[in-house]
Chain A
Amino acid sequence: MSELKSLYQDIILDHNKSPHNFKKLENANRHAEGYNPLCGDKYDIYLRVENNIIQDVSFEGAGCAISKASASVMSSLLKGKTKEEAEELIEVFHKLVTGGVDPMEELDRLGKLAAFAGVSEFPARVKCASLAWHTLRAALENKDDVVSTEK
């Protein structure tokens, strides 16, 4: 039960209910589509990158609470970040949900992302949490292919 509470944190439930930046970005110059064929979760990530800086970000799509909240929190952290800073966030997040980071020791670096620490207790849900981040990486690299969690 306590594990379950740690997964469905208020911040995750809130972002699921009212996701931030949940729209298509009309002037985007980077885009990627992410898909988890096992559960049907699907998201589009849109970026406006100028001079190596993410000026604007948005996402669209459908999926479980974990995947949607993850995309939403991610989008709220990216504005103003350089490509390298975004890549660093991707790394940190991946370590967090796979149990490779002690969230208490890394609170500063993690910020809002710490809410996803509970995911590491639910191996079946790591892909849900990671989907938007994989898609972000593809968008940064400007890959047109659909990103699958199963590759």
Chain B
Amino acid sequence: MKAAAEMYAPATSRRSFDVERVRADFPILNQTVNGKPLIYLDNAATSQKPAKVIEALRRYYREENSNIHRGVHFLSQKATGEYEGARKKLCSFINARSTGEIIYVRGATEAINLVAHSFVQEQIKPGEEIVISEMEHHSNIVPWQIVCEKTGAKLKVVPINDKGEIILEEYEKMLTPKVKFVSIVYISNSLGTVNPVKQMIEMAHEQDIPVLIDGAQAVSHARVDVQDLDCDFFVFSGHKMFGPTGIGVLYGKQEHLEKMPPYQGGGDMIKSVTFEKTIYNELPYKFEAGTPNIAGAIGLGYAVDYLNDINLDDVYIYEQDLLAYATEAVKKVDGLRIIGTARHKTAVVSFMLEDVHPHDIGTIIDSEGVAIRTGHHCTQPVMQRFGVPATARASFALYNTRDEVDALVQSINKAKKVFQ
């Protein structure tokens, strides 16, 4: 068994990571909120954007805006070049075999819905099963419930333990011949748990079960290699990896994508149309009906450039250090309980404070300029599992610092004081 930490095992050290230089790349961080410097700790919801990405969007609309794939004029060719160039960047970013395996979508949610509709729903029969885990985001629960409703298939849920880790023995037991699909989150948005997905994929493949990995929380924190993971599908959103909103990626193995029917019909996804017969376009265009989010895709390409320049291995080491520091610091707050204490975590600290509701914490620390998330984080089953209505969640990114952790702790103490 290969542990999650070994899977990352970044070869480089912290030497080259200069957080102050990184912060200077993010214009939004340089502002005050309620008279205090902004401390942005809601990165699991969405990350901020570096100047490079913002500038790319601006330049696109000022100098290059044009529709892609059809015009013979200068601007259309330029826009097409940039749009397809971004696809190439994304292809090597996750180490896909070819750009045909990189489908642009609105985000991880749409990607999961696409697979649910065009892959699983096409094949699954009544009584057959789809396996997910107890820590899934609603976006990796509801599409499967819809498939089950339509087909009579059953949804099976792998339980998690008190630390917030998937119980692998239970998972193994669930992988019966009835199971036709597995869809698992790589990193939990509400707990920070890093799941041993490579091992889980291997286990499913031994039974010939295809696997989708929800990588929405993974791509901004660690290097992802879809060939090494050997997942059948991998989905992520641009806006959680320093790119624009409204753009994301579905990676799928070519052999699957070729067999799948289109998700939506329209322009660009066809080779030829007559009223008698329409011939669908080749991959990846078969799944990209209509004028896409061109600016978003180009901007996402620049976010990939940014992460490549910075080196995700260094980011991983830096964030692990920050997580250790933050965990120790918040633990010292009297009456604070951390929800999600898995052995392998990314920099997410979800917590409860005795006698202070998460919503009150959120409002009070906002008055100190500290932005965190409070609520169920679109993972209501996780809240039920831990017997809490909601949590307060600080989620870190590569631009956060130890000083910001200290400010978070101070503001939590202030919230406690208000309720004394």
Contact = CB atoms under 8 A, between A and B. Distances in A.
Interface of A: 1, 3-4, 7-8, 13, 16-17, 38-42, 62-66, 122, 124-125, 128
B375 A63 contact: no
Interface in B355-383: 356-360, 363-364, 367, 374-376, 383
B363 A40 contact: no
Interface of B: 34-35, 356-360, 363-364, 367, 374-376, 383, 389-390, 418-419
Given A39-B390, A40-B375, A64 B367 contact: no
A39 B389 contact: yes
B359 A66 contact: yes
16 contacts: A1-B35, A4-B364, A7-B363, A8-B364, A39-B359, A40-B376, A41-B359, A42-B389, A62-B389, A63-B389, A64-B358, A65-B356, A65-B360, A124-B363, A125-B363, A128-B359
Given A3-B367, A65-B357, A122-B363, A8 B418 contact: yes
Contacts, number: 51
Contacts of B375: 38-40
The 8 A-B residue pairs whose C-beta atoms are closest, nearest first, are A40-B389, A64-B357, A64-B359, A4-B367, A40-B390, A65-B360, A64-B360, A39-B375
Given A7-B363, A8-B360, 14 more contacts: A4-B363, A8-B364, A8-B418, A16-B419, A17-B419, A39-B358, A39-B375, A39-B376, A39-B390, A40-B375, A40-B383, A64-B360, A65-B419, A128-B359
A128 to B, nearest CB: 6
B389 A41 contact: yes
Contact of A63 (B35, B357, B364): B357
B418 A13 contact: yes
A39 B363 contact: no
- Chain B interface, DSSP helix/strand/loop, else mixed: mixed
Contacts of B419: 13, 16-17, 65
A3 B366 CA distance: 12
B138 to A, nearest CB: 11
A139 B363 CA distance: 30
A124 B359 CA distance: 10
Contacts of A64: 357-360
B374 A39 contact: yes
A124 B364 CA distance: 12
B353 to A, nearest CB: 12
A39 B383 CA distance: 11
A40 B35 CA distance: 30
Contacts of A13: 418-419
Contacts of A7: 363
Nearest to B362: A124
A7 B359 CA distance: 13
Nearest to B420: A13
Q: Which of B363, B364, B367, B374 has the most chain A CB within a 10 Å cutoff?
A: B363
A9 to B, nearest CB: 11
Contacts of A122: 363
Contacts of A38: 375
Contacts of A8: 360, 364, 418
Contacts of A65: 356-357, 360, 419
Q: Which of A4, A7, A13, A128 has the most chain B CB within a 10 Å cutoff?
A: A4
A41 to B, nearest CB: 7
A104 B32 CA distance: 32
B362 to A, nearest CB: 8
B385 to A, nearest CB: 14
B328 to A, nearest CB: 28
A66 B359 CA distance: 9
Contacts of B357: 63-65
A125 to B, nearest CB: 6
A39 B378 CA distance: 10
B383 A66 contact: no
A121 to B, nearest CB: 11
Contacts of B367: 1, 3-4
A66 B35 CA distance: 24
A29 to B, nearest CB: 29
Nearest to B356: A65
A122 B360 CA distance: 12
B396 to A, nearest CB: 23
A3 B364 CA distance: 10
